Chains A and B, each alone.
Chain A
Amino acid sequence: EIMMTQSPATLSVSPGERVTLSCRTSQNVDSNLAWNQQKPGQAPRLLIYDASTRAAGIPARFSGSGSGTDFTLTIDSLQSEDLAVYYCQHYNEWPYTFGQGTRLEIK
């Protein structure tokens, strides 16, 4: 099973700032990585797939990068509605494991 490590666990950021979230996998997953956003009280939704491709309807301020074992989700000019927990997930092989999540708090 591929282990996923996200950092930091929690991040407190002011609106308008740039945010960088990290995800590391225990094995090479090439670009088979997605980022999901879960707002309070809601189901998760897909943000980024194939490490860097935005899903339909996702604002351009969200971007993903990385390949192999190290990945980054960047949010440019943070908005208050971006308050959420962000999860990375690989799909390189079964089981498709998730990271433990990064909680984004708005100052």
Chain B
Amino acid sequence: EVRLLESGGGLVQPGGSLRLSCEASGFTFSKNAMSWVRQAPGKGLEWVSGISFRGGSTYYADSVKGRFTISRDNSKDTVYLQINRLRAEDTAVYYCAKLYNYAYLDVWGQGTTVTVSS
């Protein structure tokens, strides 16, 4: 069974940092690009970041560029999202998703919740 399991969310103060993880199973992780998508409370989906299958290319939404860093460790079948200088507007459920051939998101995780508050 293809699965994505996110972790690392929690309550963080404004200005703090957090690293989210997404562990994959059931498919050849090292051959697939990956993405992070977030959803603020009561809002729609926002694409955040993507990374190529080897990690050599990364992509970001303008709203997070310079504060978010996506990376991956193919030996651990895991993709990460480092979030720095957290703001209240970063409060959201963060979903990890697998890209099919650098195209559509064909598998989604269940999400991890990040809350930024003092």
Task: Name which of A19-27, A72-80, A89-97 contacts chain B.
Answer: A89-97
Q: Is A49 an interface position by the 8 A CB rule?
A: yes
For the residues of B in contact with A, the DSSP-based class is: strand
Residues A45 and B50 in contact, CB atoms below 8 Å apart:
no
Contacting B at CB under 8 A, from A1-41, are: 1, 32, 34, 36, 38
Q: Is A55 an interface position by the 8 A CB rule?
A: yes
- Complex Cα distance A95/B62, Å? 8
Residues A46 and B103 in contact, CB atoms below 8 Å apart:
no
Question: How many chain B residues have a CB neighbour from A under 8 Å?
Answer: 24
- Complex Cα distance A100/B37, Å? 14
Rounded to whole Å, the gap between the CB of B39 and the closest CB of chain A is: 8
What total of A-B pairs shows CB separation below 8 Å?
Answer: 63
- Complex Cα distance A14/B17, Å? 46
Cβ–Cβ < 8 Å partners of B45 in chain A = 36, 38, 44, 87, 89, 98, 101
Rounded to whole Å, the gap between the CB of B28 and the closest CB of chain A is: 18
Interface range, A side: 20 to 34
On B, residues with C-beta under 8 Å from A are 35, 37, 44-47, 50, 59-62, 95, 99-100, 102-111
